[in-house]
Amino acid sequence: MKLENGVADISASLPSKTLITLKVNGTEKQMEIAPWTTLLDALREYLDLTGTKKGCDHGQCGACTILVDGKRINSCLTLAIMKDDAEVTTIEGLAQGEVLHPLQQAFIEHDAFQCGYCTPGQICSAVGLMAEGRAETADDIRELMSGNICRCGAYPNIVAAIQEVIQTGERKAEQ
């Protein structure tokens, strides 16, 4: 390690690129990335999956929410290298061909978006929320979705869309 003006120069010891593998929306992808690349930037810049949005880039708005191994995370706060070999699902991976995911369809039917910028993160977060199985009431949904901000204020419709899909899923399970 070389000192220059009393400051340690560690850049020479850092690898410039690292090869990682992610299973993204069901397809294995390999990328050679800088170790400091966020998962959000890897998805958008290396894989051209631009549905996941960069909102605040500080983990405060939820626009970048995706699913990693079935759990919702803020991709702007996660280094891609930390998720090597993980299964990643973005908004682009929720539909089955031309058939929308039930939450995508419910968002349309309930007009649960206005500008649409937060919608991919809202939907991915809601998919994760449903998998957690802790949302039983509208208040539960509001609390568990509180990490996803909608600047347009479509919250009542977002909650209604999520409630409908949860209730429909419960009815299907009972049959």
Q: What residue ranges define each of the domains in the chain, with the CATH number in brackets?
A: 11-57+68-93 (3.10.20.30), 102-170 (1.10.150.120)
φ/ψ (deg, to 5) at 22? -125, 145
With 0.95 as the threshold, say if the pTM is over it: no
Distance CA 158, CA 137 (A): 13
Residue-level pLDDT, tens digit, the chain, 175 residues: 555 666 666 556 667 999 999 999 999 999 999 999 999 999 999 999 999 999 999 999 999 999 999 999 999 999 999 999 999 999 999 999 999 999 999 999 999 999 999 999 999 999 999 999 999 999 999 999 999 999 999 999 999 999 999 999 866 766 5
φ/ψ (deg, to 5) at 11? -60, -30
